[in-house]
Amino acid sequence: MPQGIEKRLTNNSSKEKIFEDAAIPYNQALKKNGHVKALKYAEKKTNTTTKIENERKETANEETKETKTTNRRKRRIIWFNPPYSKNVSSNISKKFLDLLNSCFPQNQKIHKIVNKNTVKLSYSCTPNIKQIIRSHNKGIINETSKKTSATKLCNCSDKPSCPFQGKCLEQSLV
């Protein structure tokens, strides 16, 4: 662990004095936790490879790239799903994208995250109003049908001739 801290501080520090100033709290914490080795500044190695060595490395990298499958990054897309309604006659998607352009112009930092390429609009991901109402009504109808079936005592076609005096659906008759 001390080697990792030492390496990170060395990479973040441009001079040995900056390193020593930053290393003081780390050295105290390491001593407190039982580490004896103090952090020391390591000189950064300069790149002294020749042109031929660089070419060899490039050809080796190309060979490994061809054999290795590349990991493709997924696009970070923000979806806006407004509820569908036939009453809306305006083009919501165009107005929404115009709003994006006006609220997040290219000179703002957040434009990289919120623009017309990263924010998509879709109606298909949400149920329309008809489906919402239908599912709500279906739930209500199912509740009432369960209540009525529980109150029925007999389901015989000829109720007067029921062998259990009209109580054939009752549990624990015996």
Taking 60 as the threshold, does the pLDDT of residue 66 lie above it? no
Give mean pLDDT, residues 147-172. Answer: 78
CB atoms within 10 A of CB 96: 14
How far from each other are the two terminal CA atoms of the chain, in whole angstroms? 77
Distance CA 111, CA 101 (A): 9
**pLDDT on residue 155:** 83
The token pair that represents 144 in the structure block: 């009432």
Taking 70 as the threshold, does the pLDDT of residue 174 lie above it? no
**pLDDT on residue 47:** 56
Confidence tier at 164 by pLDDT (50, 70, 90):
confident
Distance CA 127, CA 134 (A): 11
Check: CB of residue 95 under 8 Å from CB of residue 53: no
**pLDDT on residue 105:** 92
**pLDDT on residue 49:** 57
**pLDDT on residue 6:** 82
Residue 119's DSSP bridge partners are: 78
Q: Give the list of residues 6+ apart from residue 13 with CB closer than 8 angstroms, or none.
A: 19, 22, 41
At 7-59, the pLDDT tens digits run 888 888 878 888 888 888 888 888 888 887 888 888 776 555 566 666 666 76
**pLDDT on residue 50:** 63
At 147-159, the pLDDT tens digits run 665 567 788 888 8
Apex CA 155: angle with CA 154 and CA 160, to 5°?
65
Domain ranges, ordered by start, for the chain? 1-44, 73-144
**pLDDT on residue 16:** 84
Apex CA 1: angle with CA 4 and CA 5, to 5°?
35
CB atoms within 10 A of CB 19: 19
**pLDDT on residue 64:** 59
At 97-143, the pLDDT tens digits run 999 999 999 999 999 999 989 998 887 655 677 888 899 999 888 88
**pLDDT on residue 37:** 80
